[in-house]
């Protein structure tokens, strides 16, 4: 699939500097791209590669000032990283749109409703009364339980398991191996010390434009719903417990665990390996540093926290700085103690009286 600089500039609303007829058929990193490939430059640390790369077309920021002439055709845009991401998204859309039809073998229950231009990969399972919208792509080995609903243009990758009654919005991407709607972790202690399972009869609802990484688990609610709101982006290997709510455009990095009934606000950023206890609230715009342990609610919007237990980011950095200086402080205290001791002895000596 080949594109000219003129076509690419039109897609990213950029300005061409060089030969508009230059064509590419692949993508490459600027430090190793070859002739016929498209690269981008957004980070100034990589600017030196601009003058040595073999890339045929390079997307750059409008304000970039060239230090010397280059052979590649440039496409100038306000934000090179965003433009390149948009281009990759469009390229991926073109590739996935080509997939239509039903491979064999598959199981589709007679009561299921399948939209137009749908792709069902081999060995996928579509249960009773499932509703699948237009343009949906379901890759091999996926399982959709009874009464599952999937909105238009959603992509469900290989091996995804979506349990009964769960609702998936439009333009959602769910990566391989993810499980949606498994039982929440609920057990009632009994007088004899045993644990009795609490039935989990709620659902998982995922709104539009959500992306969920590989091998993530989102548990169904005990009652009601576990809710992932529009635009949220969830990384690989997450554990989202029963009745959790994740707000619009919130981003959560890998290996984070969110305990039951916690409410996470909009535009929150959560680093990798964060642990969040249950039944608390995380305010809009909060930033939680990697490996933090959040044990109480974050009530003020746009608060940054770090550590375990997590506390305010700037205060935590000051505490870390003090901790690093403790050996030097100990040395100074010992020196002061010695000086005080000598001064005391001198003041108490007979010669001083």
Residues 6+ apart with CB under 8 A from 45: none
Rounded to whole angstroms, the Cα distance separating 31 from 47 reads 9
Measured from the Cβ of residue 315, the count of other Cβ atoms closer than 10 Å reads 12
Rounded to whole angstroms, the Cα distance separating 88 from 90 reads 5
Rounded to whole angstroms, the Cα distance separating 291 from 254 reads 11
One-character DSSP codes across 44-105: GGGGGGGGT---SEEEEETTPPPSS--SSEEEEES-HHHHHHHHHHHHHHHHHHT--EE-SS
Question: Which among 171, 242, 279, 311 is annotated as catalytic?
Answer: 242
CA distances from 302 to 287, 288, 298, 299 (A): 7, 10, 9, 9
Q: Is 242 a catalytic site residue?
A: yes
Cβ(184)–Cβ(204) below 8 Å? no
Residues 6+ apart with CB under 8 A from 107: 124, 125, 126
The token pair at 127 is 């249960």
One-character DSSP codes across 232-293: -EE-SS-EE-TT-EE-TT-EE-TT-EE-TT-EE-TT-EE-TT-EE-SS-EE-TT-EE-TT-E
Measured from the Cβ of residue 131, the count of other Cβ atoms closer than 10 Å reads 17
Q: For tokens 């060239």, name the residue.
A: 66
Query: Annotated active-site positions, please?
Result: 242
């Amino acid at each position: 699939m080949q594109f000219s600089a003129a076509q690419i500039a039109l897609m990213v609303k950029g300005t061409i500097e060089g030969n508009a007829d230059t064509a590419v058929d692949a993508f490459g990193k600027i430090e190793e791209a070859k002739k016929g490939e498209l690269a981008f430059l957004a980070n100034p640390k990589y600017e030196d590669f601009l003058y040595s790369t073999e890339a045929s077309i390079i997307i750059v920021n409008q304000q970039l000032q060239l230090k010397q002439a280059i052979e590649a055709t440039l496409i100038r845009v306000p934000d090179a990283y965003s433009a390149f991401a948009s281009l990759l998204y469009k390229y991926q859309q073109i590739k996935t749109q080509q997939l239509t039809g039903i491979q064999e073998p598959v199981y589709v229950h007679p009561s299921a409703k399948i939209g137009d231009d749908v792709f069902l990969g081999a060995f996928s399972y579509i249960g009773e009364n499932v509703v699948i919208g237009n343009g949906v792509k379901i890759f091999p080995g996926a399982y959709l339980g009874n009464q599952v609903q999937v909105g238009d243009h959603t992509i469900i990758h290989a091996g995804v398991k979506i349990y009964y009654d769960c609702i998936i919005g439009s333009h959602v991407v769910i990566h391989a191996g993810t499980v949606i709607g498994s039982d929440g972790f609920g057990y009632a202690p009994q007088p004899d010390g045993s644990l009795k399972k609490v039935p989990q009869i709620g659902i998982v609802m995922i709104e539009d434009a959500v992306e969920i990484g590989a091998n993530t688990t989102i548990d169904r609610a005990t009652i009601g719903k576990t809710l992932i709101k529009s635009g949220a982006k969830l990384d690989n290997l997450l554990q989202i417990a029963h009745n959790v709510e994740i707000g619009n455009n919130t981003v959560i990095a890998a290996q984070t665990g969110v305990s039951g009934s916690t409410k996470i606000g909009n535009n929150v950023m959560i680093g990798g390996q964060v642990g969040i206890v249950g039944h608390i609230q995380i305010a809009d715009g909060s930033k939680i540093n990697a490996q933090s342990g959040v044990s109480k609610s974050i009530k003020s919007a746009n608060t940054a926290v770090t550590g375990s237990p997590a506390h305010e980011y700037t205060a935590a950095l000051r505490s870390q700085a003090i901790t690093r200086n403790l050996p030097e402080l100990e040395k100074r205290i010992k020196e002061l103690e010695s000086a005080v001791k000598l001064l005391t002895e001198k003041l108490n000596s007979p010669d001083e009286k």
